[in-house]
Amino acid sequence: MESFRWMLSRGVAVHDASGKVLRMAGSQTDITEGKVSDPLTGLPNRLLFIDRVGRLIKHKKRRKDQLFAVLFWTLMGSR
């Protein structure tokens, strides 16, 4: 099954007086949770919805006997 992670990458290089790189340091932070859910409510967002529907479509292509349906409901004035 296909999977993905959203990563925040940061890095910095330390140079000597001539501009030559002496060393580099960096970090990576997994920010997937913030990308697939609303930070205020914690509810899944559109990115996660599209990912899950895509997975269902792929699954359906392999399993012809299984059915699925999607209900997408937008509440007006909720933004």
Q: What is the pLDDT of residues 19-28, one digit of tens each?
A: 999 999 999 9
User: At residue 10, does pLDDT exceed 70?
Assistant: yes
Encode pLDDT of 36-52 as tens digits: 777 777 777 777 778 88
State how far the alpha carbon of 52 is from the alpha carbons of 6, 15, 16, 19, in Å. Answer: 16, 46, 49, 48
pLDDT at 16: 94
For the chain, first and last CA: distance in Å? Answer: 34
> Which residue has better confidence, 53 or 13?
13
pLDDT at 79: 55
